[in-house]
Amino acid sequence: MDHTEYIKTELGYWLVSANKDGINSIQFSKALPEPPQNPNSITTLAIAQLSAYFQKTHSSFDLPLNLSPYSQFYRDTWEMVAAIPYGKLCSYSEIAIRMNNPKAVRAVGMANGKNPFPLIIPCHRVIGKDKSLTGYAYGLELKKWLLEHEGAIAKTPTLF
């Protein structure tokens, strides 16, 4: 049985889904999530850590993740992504090199794009080799906001 709980942020909602063993996924939605909240101890811990992250009082996560459905390559890629420090950036090609597989840049991008644990495994910190903000499942606007929130990139002034 899946348990769900969500947190509302200034950009939308982050929905945590978990079973008794760990988190199955984290999803972002601009609209109020459909499933009624049905928390368990894991979702409650995740929401507490996410809340602290958005309040800038917490910069890392310590949560159980259900990784068993995923290939070893995905797990290895996500382990590298999870090691990117708060407020720092890393390119897809740098990750492939760290994995001793420099030709796997596209595969790293594919694994990063299928990350079911955004924020926990900070795929938003992965950028293009040319330092461009490329690809994010929930859009580049959210990726940019998260990187500004962490201080990885300078906030862009707005006219309004």
Helix (H) / strand (E) element for 3: namely strand 3-8
CB-neighbour burial class of residue 100 (10 A; exposed 0-12, middle 13-18, buried 19+): exposed
Task: Please tell me which residue in 15, 105, 123, 147 is annotated as part of the active site.
Answer: 123
**Residue 90 among the catalytic residues:** no
Q: Name the token pair of 87.
A: 């407020």
Query: CA-CA distances (angstroms) from residue 121 to 21, 36, 70, 84, 160?
Result: 18, 25, 14, 9, 33
CA 24/CA 107 separation, integer angstroms: 22
Q: Name the 3-class secondary structure at 116.
A: coil
User: Which residues are identified as catalytic?
Assistant: 123
